[in-house]
Amino acid sequence: MYDFSGQVVLVTGAASGIGRASAERFFAEGASVVLADRNLEGVQSVARELGQDERLHCLGFDAIDRASCIDMVNDALGHFGRLDVLCNIAGIAGGWRLEDMPPADWQRMIDINLNSLFHITQAAIPALVESRGNVINMSSASGKQGQPYGTCYCASKAGVIGFSKAVAAEFASRGVRSNAICPGGVKTPIYDNYTFPENAEMALIDRMRSLPGFGEAEVSDITAMILFLASSEARFVTGVAFDVDGGQLAL
C-alpha cells in the first residue's frame, strides 16, 4: 500500500485497460486523479463508479492533436493547481505486413504512441519540476524485441524507451524522475482484439510469449509497477525501462 494523499496524478488512456486500472488504484491510494481519454464518456463512467469524488476530474482529448494534448494538461493544472505524477498510458496496437501497411496508419500509431508523449510531457514538465514529480511512460516488450507484423508498433514503443531515458537524464538535476514500463501480453481490450495478418507465421508469433507457467498478465500486474515507480519507494529509480512480461525477454 502507498499513500498518495495530497498528490495529483494525470493518467491518459484512463477509460479502459491499464489506464483505467491505474487511475482506480491511484484514487484508492488517496491521490487526486485526472482521468484523460479520447473516450470522455468512458472516463466519466469510471468516475461515476468511483463515486464522483471531488478528487476526480475527467477530460477528453485527442492524442493525435498537439493542441488537444496541451489543452488537456493545462485544464488538469487549472483544476487541481499542481501535478505530481504523469502516466502516459494511452496507446494503440495493430499488426500489418510491412509491405501492406498504409502510411496513414503508420503515422496515426506514431502520433498516438510516441508523439503525444512529447506534447503532453512538454506541457507538463514545468509543473513536474515544481513538484519534483515523475513521469511513467507505457512502452512494451515489443520496444525491445522485434515483433513480426509490428514494425510501426515496435518503432513507436522503442521510441518511448529512448524518450523516457532522455527525459530522465535531462531533468535529473531538477528533481524529476522518468521511467518506462515494458509489458508483454496483458489481458486488456487492445490485447483481446489484436489480430495478425492472414497466413501469419505462427512460429514467429509464438516467440512473443511469456515463460511457461506465467501466461498473460493481469492489469494489476502492471499497475503494481506503476504505483511503485510513482511512489517515494522508487526515489532512486530513473531512466529505466522495466520488463513486466513473465520472462518473455529472458531468452
Enzyme catalytic residues: 153
For the chain, the farthest-separated pair of C-alpha atoms sits apart, in whole angstroms, at 52
Grouping H, G, I as helix, E, B as strand and the rest as coil, residue 8 is strand
Packing angle of the helix pair 17-28, 40-50 (nearest 10 deg): 30
What DSSP letter does each residue of 113-157 carry, written as one string?
A: IIIHHHHHHHHHHHHHHHHT-EEEEE--GGGTS--TT-HHHHHHH
As beta bridge partners, residue 8 has 32
C-alpha cell of 90?
494511452
